[in-house]
């Protein structure tokens, strides 16, 4: 059941205004407030498309304004993608630090959920709902940490900018559009975004925290096959039909083995992983990094995956470009051989890969000139080439910053014994808006998640642990105090 803005606003606003500074020091009070905020955020149905975040942005503004925080909502030309910005002012002796998290979410297949995906149900210690993990939990944690600093009137040496982004889930008016048109509003020295992981072991301990310093590139391709339309009773040769041609092409893509290529952030990550896991994994990593040719790298890569099976899909993606068929569309009736069939392939490419060269490689792999291969992009075609050029040139973020140091120090305070590993994210985020301009961005998941919970991103029964949200608010608050407080 949908709730009105007034129903959402009253409890959260009263909580924001009524918590005294002394009481706010209690992690449990701040954690409870963040959980309540997360529930409110989930109840805004911000599925993209259309990605309407206008009401959610207005709601966030209603929480920040009474605290005396400077706020602004930037509405995109489509009238739906609304970016909310809150700026907590410092004395300007240092350049700002920015926290960004997106408020739009992917669609749901309701029939596969065991709870209402927009009811924000708490069950067995977890908050369930679309966006519970990706990425409204980070919105709630970041927002509450900044609101606490505002409420406590902490004196700052730099501005803290909180950005609740729109259109991250493959929309046109995301942070790339925001940076192009309103860079002065989000310009910072360093930034936090999504992308890493704080890994919860079965014994309830956090021993490994991954912080991403680079992303892979996202590329969507549409493959269109055309053939002879006919009655389904006819024995038309498969490669004369659209479906037959497309099936043959998709089979080649599905079983293609792309070369092993290790970027500097991936090398750093694998070395750190080997230190944390002495034994078979450590030896396999040593052989992988020492391999001198493609064949040796392929053998060593398989040894790494066999030695660390629970992380094998992620580790494999860190070693190579990936291609996955995500959508297939063909046919109008069971007794008709269709004249056209199409599929969408999602590729995740290593930093520096030339998109257009990759497209030619896909065409060569398919080896059928009758199949059209087209780049599917949310940007106008006249902007496409420049966008891909800039994105492929983005360099990894340096870890020699005060923000990265604070992330390490505060992580060890909240989760004693945890090791922080910089890494390349196997997916992609909207951090490129800052990295392309030379601003270091660190992708974090500011709270622990177990493997089952992590696997539900973009899936069914998405969730996040209540206890994890409590820890996340403490973590981010500590990081901000370390890098911004006078």
Catalytic site positions: 104, 168
Alpha-carbon dihedral sign for residues 269, 275, 281, 286? positive
Q: Which residues contact 232 (CB under 8 A, 6 or more apart)?
A: 334, 335, 336, 337
The closest of 181, 210, 217 to 195, measured between CA atoms, is: 210
Instruction: Give the whole-angstrom CA distance, residue 81 versus residue 22.
Output: 37
DSSP 278: T
Quote the CA–CA distance of 146 and 164 in Å, as a whole number.
Answer: 12
SS3 388: helix
Answer whether 368's CB lies under 8 Å from 251's CB: no
Give me 481's structure tokens: 């105090």
Q: How many helices (H) and strands (E) does the chain have?
A: 17, 19
- Residues with Cβ within 8 Å of 98's Cβ and at least 6 positions away in sequence, in order, are 160, 161, 162, 163, 186, 188, 190, 191, 192, 434
Residue from 473, 335, 476 nearest 36 by CA:
473
Plot region of 53 (φ>0 → left; ψ -120 to 50 → alpha; else → beta): alpha
Grouping H, G, I as helix, E, B as strand and the rest as coil, residue 16 is helix
């Amino acid at each position: 059941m949908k709730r009105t803005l007034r129903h959402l606003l009253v409890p959260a606003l009263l909580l924001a205004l009524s918590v005294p500074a002394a009481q706010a020091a209690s992690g449990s009070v701040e954690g409870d407030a963040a959980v309540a905020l997360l529930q409110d955020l989930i109840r805004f149905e911000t599925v993209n498309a259309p990605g309407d975040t206008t009401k959610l942005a207005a709601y966030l503004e209603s929480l920040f304004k009474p605290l005396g925080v400077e706020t602004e909502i930037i509405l995109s030309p489509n009238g739906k993608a609304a970016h909310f910005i809150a700026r907590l002012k410092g004395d300007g002796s240092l350049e700002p630090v920015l926290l960004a998290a997106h408020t739009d979410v992917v669609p749901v297949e309701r029939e596969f959920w065991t709870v209402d995906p927009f009811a924000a149900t708490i069950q067995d210690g977890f908050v369930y709902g679309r966006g519970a993990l990706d990425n409204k939990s980070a919105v709630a944690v970041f927002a509450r940490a900044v609101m606490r600093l505002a409420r406590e009137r902490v004196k700052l040496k730099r501005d803290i900018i909180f950005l609740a982004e729109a259109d991250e889930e493959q929309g046109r008016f995301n942070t790339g559009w925001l940076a192009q048109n309103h860079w002065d509003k989000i310009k910072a020295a360093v930034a936090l975004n999504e992308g890493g992981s704080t890994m919860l072991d079965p014994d309830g301990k956090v021993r490994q925290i991954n912080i991403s310093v680079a992303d892979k590139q996202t590329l969507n391709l549409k493959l269109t096959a055309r053939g002879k339309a006919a009655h389904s009773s006819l024995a038309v040769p498969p490669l004369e039909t659209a479906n037959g041609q497309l099936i043959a092409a998709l089979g080649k893509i599905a079983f293609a083995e792309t070369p092993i290529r290790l970027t500097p952030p991936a090398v750093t990550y694998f070395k750190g992983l080997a230190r944390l896991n002495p034994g078979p994994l450590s030896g396999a990593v040593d052989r992988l990094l020492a391999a001198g040719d493609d064949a040796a790298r392929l053998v060593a890569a398989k040894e790494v995956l066999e030695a660390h099976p629970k992380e094998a899909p992620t580790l494999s993606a860190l070693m190579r470009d990936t291609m996955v068929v995500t959508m297939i569309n063909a046919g109008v009736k069971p007794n008709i051989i269709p004249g056209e069939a199409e599929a969408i392939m999602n590729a995740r490419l290593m930093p520096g890969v030339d998109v257009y060269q990759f497209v030619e490689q896909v065409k060569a792999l398919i080896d059928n000139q009758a199949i059209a291969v087209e780049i599917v992009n949310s940007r106008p075609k006249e902007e496409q080439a420049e966008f891909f050029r800039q994105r492929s040139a983005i360099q990894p973020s340096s870890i020699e910053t005060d923000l990265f140091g604070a992330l390490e120090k505060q992580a060890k305070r909240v989760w004693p014994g945890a090791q922080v590993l910089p890494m390349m994210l196997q997916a992609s985020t909207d951090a490129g808006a800052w990295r392309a301009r030379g601003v270091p961005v660190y992708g974090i998941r500011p709270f622990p998640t177990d493997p089952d919970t992590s696997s539900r991103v973009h899936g069914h029964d998405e969730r996040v642990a209540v206890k994890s949200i409590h820890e996340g608010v403490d973590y981010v608050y500590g990081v901000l105090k370390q890098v911004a407080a006078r």
